[in-house]
Amino acid sequence: MSQAKVPAWVNIALIPVLNILLAFLVSGLVILAIGENPIEAAGYLIYGAFGYDEGIGYTLYYATNLIFTGLAVSVAFKGGLFNIGGEGQAYIGGLGVGLICLSLDHTMPFYVIAPLAVIGAAVFGAAWGYIPAYLQARRGSHIVITTIMFNFIASSLMVYLIVNWLKEDGRMAPNSRTFEENAWLPYLHEIFSPLGIEIGDSPLNLAFVWALLCCVFVWGLIWHTRWGYQLRTLGTNPTAARYAGIDTAKVTIWAMLISGGLAGFVGLNEIMGVNHNLLLNFTAGYGFAGIAVSLMGRNHPIGIILAAVLFGALYQGGAELAFEIPTITPEIVVVIQGLVILFSGALEHMFKDRIEGFFIRRAVA
């Protein structure tokens, strides 16, 4: 079967859409099984995600984190690396953001703190990705095993640092003190309001714009640079890459540095954009969800944006659904999210051969 005879849009758009529709069909059966109307539930979910300004803002806020982690997975995956350490890299990236804000918010203005926080998120996240990358490139340790381990190490390290060193005095909660307002990323509704544009109050902040700029950066880096060609060659055929003179160890390390830096930007959205202090568990599983976002988006920035918005809609719309129909508990919403991940990830090739065969037979006829 010749892949070249299959239109590109079949794999890029048709198959992912069919997988998502099948996931929603099975989700509808689950809702029906607990005695609720799937059509009504779908209406609440869509309305909660896109039916009003605040809902859209929350959807895009969730999508911002997923864009960062989806891009992180994508860059590594293009080099044949399955980086499932985005959770830990995002955690440590948030630590970098928090340290910058805590150190400078009393003395520096926003326009100084913001770029330093971006650098801090990238450097700390990249540093956490460097060690697994080095072990893979120089010692042959499998990247999946080491990145899993480093997720747990990052979690333990954050608990130790916040509880013993960074927690605000006189408080039981394991949080740092609140940053001064000059160390807050502005909310988009605050930016647009003076212009006469009302978009509703939500946590959506300037990190969303940065996420879109990161998509442009990744697109240019992977598809329009020499290094991106080397990365894609390594991911396609490591043996051919070595014979072509590509330093595969160096490309591997740089891929993980960039991947970790992108994941670290979750800290911008959560620490500097919303919570305004350093706290535990702010990553909330975004690093793992980013794997599904990247796979669903076919490791392309545009696809990642669309997949991130879909998952953001499931997060926000699922909360609305659980509120409006109490019998559909948050756990059922997690099941729906899991089904989307299942059919878009593990079962993404279920229809692939049949659909490709149909288009090939049609082309031959």
Tell me the longest C-alpha to C-alpha distance in the chain.
77
Asked whether residue 232 is assigned to any structural domain, the reply reads: yes
**Residue 2 pLDDT more than 50?**
no
Where in the sequence is the domain holding 231, given as residue range(s)?
A: 62-286
Share of the chain above pLDDT 70, in %: 98
Asked whether residue 73 is assigned to any structural domain, the reply reads: yes
pLDDT at res. 309: 97
Asked whether residue 137 is assigned to any structural domain, the reply reads: yes
Which one is predicted more confidently, 352 or 70? 70
Helices (H), the chain: 8-9, 15-33, 38-50, 53-78, 86-104, 110-139, 143-161, 188-192, 207-223, 226-236, 238-243, 248-264, 266-267, 286-296, 301-324, 330-341, 352-364
pLDDT at res. 365: 67
Structural domains in the chain (count): 1
Asked whether residue 113 is assigned to any structural domain, the reply reads: yes
Asked whether residue 242 is assigned to any structural domain, the reply reads: yes
| pLDDT mean across residues, the chain | 93
Q: What is the pLDDT of residues 277-293, one digit of tens each?
A: 999 999 999 999 999 89
Provide φ and ψ at 305, rounded to 5°.
-60, -45
Quickly state the pLDDT bin for 272 (edges 50, 70, 90): very high
**How many CB atoms are closer than 10 A to CB 329?**
13
**Residue 144 pLDDT more than 60?**
yes
Q: What is the pLDDT of residues 212-249, one digit of tens each?
A: 999 999 999 999 999 999 999 999 999 999 999 999 99
Provide φ and ψ at 200, rounded to 5°.
85, 145
Residue type, 160: Y
Cα separation, 75 vs 82, whole angstroms: 10
Q: What is the pLDDT of residues 172-192, one digit of tens each?
A: 899 999 999 999 999 999 999
Asked whether residue 27 is assigned to any structural domain, the reply reads: no
Asked whether residue 139 is assigned to any structural domain, the reply reads: yes
Cα separation, 280 vs 203, whole angstroms: 18
**Residue 351 pLDDT more than 90?**
no
Quickly state the pLDDT bin for 109 (edges 50, 70, 90): very high
Asked whether residue 41 is assigned to any structural domain, the reply reads: no
